[in-house]
Amino acid sequence: MKMKRLIQWLLAAMVMTSCNDWLDIKSDNVLLEEEIFGDYTGVQMAVNGVYREISVTDLYGKNLSWGFASALALNYINSGLSSDLAEASNRNWKNSSVLDVTEKTWAKAYNVIASCNNIIQQVEKKDSSFFYNKDVEKQLILAEMRGVRALLHFDMLRLFCPVPSSKNQGDPAIPYVTKYPDHQPMRMTMEQVLENIVSDMEFAQEKLGPLDTLKFEKWTKGRQHRFMSGAHETPLGGDDFLNYRGTRMNYWGATALLARIYMWMGNEEMAYKNAAIIKRFVDVKGWFKWTGASQHGDVSAYPEYSDPKRWEELLLGFYNKDNLDNFEKAILSPESFKMNEMEKLFGSETDDYRYKFYNRYDNDRRYLVWERPVASSSNTSGTVTTQITYQCPLIPIVRFPEMYHIMIECLINKKKIVEAKELFSTLRNQRGVKEYVLPDDPDDLKEKLVNDMIREGLTEGQTFFMYKRLNHGIFNGDKDIPMTADKFIAEYPNNETSY
């Protein structure tokens, strides 16, 4: 049995690292595939492989989080960055180093999508009795893989296509690939792609809801069980495959991503509805909690005691144990990974916990989110070791404060200024901002909201897409750089066969 599982691990790794080869189906490949999916452990390994591959540096382990996407949004000082990040900070889409990044990101995204499709097809034709946890496991896998498939397509759409509008709904966008193998997937219209994204993510939301909120409640209502922390309950389902729901596509992640997707589409009614679901789990149920001052890098404490990933707020995060090493390899100069003129972003609101979190106690404006924690004379190495082991590998995908931003923006657009200001004040209060005076003018209030979105999402890959959705100038640490819609669109890959 041990030898069989070893073979399955090796075969699953082959599938995940060379899906392009698997598009060319031959008899030997069919035999290998039958071996991988011959019992439930092989399926589990293939699913785990998807999460491993989605977290590599070509995707959320760098390019779509702290690296390329954050450089596009000018989260860093340009000098000293690697050439691809420096050119990205100027949105030089045709530059060879930028093209190399975007083409690798595209190819890897469709590589993982192919793996999702293969798993979906294999699982759909198996009886529930095949799986260790029977129908629960079958439905969970199908929901997770369709949710991941939707997320990857959505981020390729956001990067390579314009923001949806009535004028471009019928224009070719990207392929939405739902079968395996698909040698030459055809580009769909913007409308078709968005319909598929919503369909897949709503499927994930519907199937995962009863599992994550009811059946798995004992394991999901506390952060220490949603993420690996050394203190989880007896393994859910009898093994670890169902555990650590925070690092797998889950109900809250799917719901929050639907809010983000609908906001991108301009459907504020559905965006608000999904965001409000998440808010209820924060305000009413208390399953998710705001990060407090001491865990946010308060100057009265040492940054080594803070939660670098603010994991109490994290709805969905992927996992890469090499995060710290990858980040350190990208630092060509100690000045590189600092925020441009952070004082101008926060102004007089230096009591904001986020200012202290990013500014650290020694005022060097570095990012605790990705930096290696270091023990100090007042700290124990055990605290730092725990952070490095459990928090540092996390890659934030979506947090619940984004849901507050979505609801506030929807309220402003509906001219419900009183309600918008009330909710905005709640958010700012949780971030330690003692000045609660907010403007009454809708345009001024929205600019204040944009400023808060920047504060909230530094180095996590979402700020650039916020600018793009709003067709807003990009804050460079001093002022907003004017942008036009075309400057937000990456060059479509030359090699469309890289799937």
Q: Hey, how many other C-beta atoms are within 10 angstroms of the C-beta on 341?
A: 15
Confidence of residue 496 (pLDDT cuts 50, 70, 90): low
Torsion (CA) 309, 312, 318, 319 in degrees, nearest 10: 60
Check residue 332 and report its DSSP letter.
S
> What is the pLDDT, as a whole number, of residue 341?
65
> What is the pLDDT, as a whole number, of residue 240?
82
H/E stretch holding 317 reads strand 314-319
Per-residue pLDDT reduced to its tens digit, 387-403:
899 999 999 999 999 99
Confidence of residue 266 (pLDDT cuts 50, 70, 90): very high
Q: How far apart are CA 385 and CA 124, in angstroms?
A: 42
Give CA 258 to chain center in angstroms: 13
Read off the pTM: 0.93
Confidence of residue 13 (pLDDT cuts 50, 70, 90): low
**What are the strands, taking DSSP E only, across 135-195?**
172-175, 187-189
Range of 125's domain? 1-162+191-199
What is the percent of the chain with per-residue pLDDT over 70, rounded to a whole number? 85
Quick check: is 467 in a domain? no
Across all residues in the chain, what is the average pLDDT?
Answer: 88
Q: How far apart are CA 493 and CA 59, in angstroms?
A: 16
Per-residue pLDDT reduced to its tens digit, 44-66:
999 999 999 999 999 999 999 99
Q: How far apart are CA 366 and CA 370, in angstroms?
A: 9
> What is the pLDDT, as a whole number, of residue 344?
85
Q: Report helix, strand or coil for 315.
A: strand
Q: Provide mean pLDDT across the span 9-25.
A: 47
Quick check: is 385 in a domain? no
Contact 246, 221 (CB under 8 A): no
Quick check: is 278 in a domain? no
Is residue 493 scored above 80 in pLDDT? Answer: yes
For 392, half-sphere exposure in the C-beta direction (CA atoms, 13 angstrom radius) is 23
Q: How far apart are CA 39 and CA 130, in angstroms?
A: 7
> Residues near 284 by Cβ (< 8 Å), separated by ≥ 6?
none
Contact 152, 113 (CB under 8 A): yes
Q: How far apart are CA 465 and CA 114, in angstroms?
A: 25
Per-residue pLDDT reduced to its tens digit, 123-181:
999 999 999 999 999 999 999 999 999 999 999 999 999 999 878 889 999 999 999 99
> What is the pLDDT, as a whole number, of residue 477?
78
Domain count, the chain: 1
Among 51-65, 362-376, 418-432, 483-497, the range scoring the smallest mean pLDDT is: 362-376
Quick check: is 130 in a domain? yes
Q: Hey, how many other C-beta atoms are within 10 angstroms of the C-beta on 481?
A: 14
Is residue 268 scored above 70 in pLDDT? Answer: yes
Q: How far apart are CA 357 and CA 369, in angstroms?
A: 8
Quick check: is 71 in a domain? yes
Of residues 14 and 312, the one with the higher pLDDT is: 312
Write the single-letter amino acid at 126.
K
Is residue 411 scored above 70 in pLDDT? Answer: yes
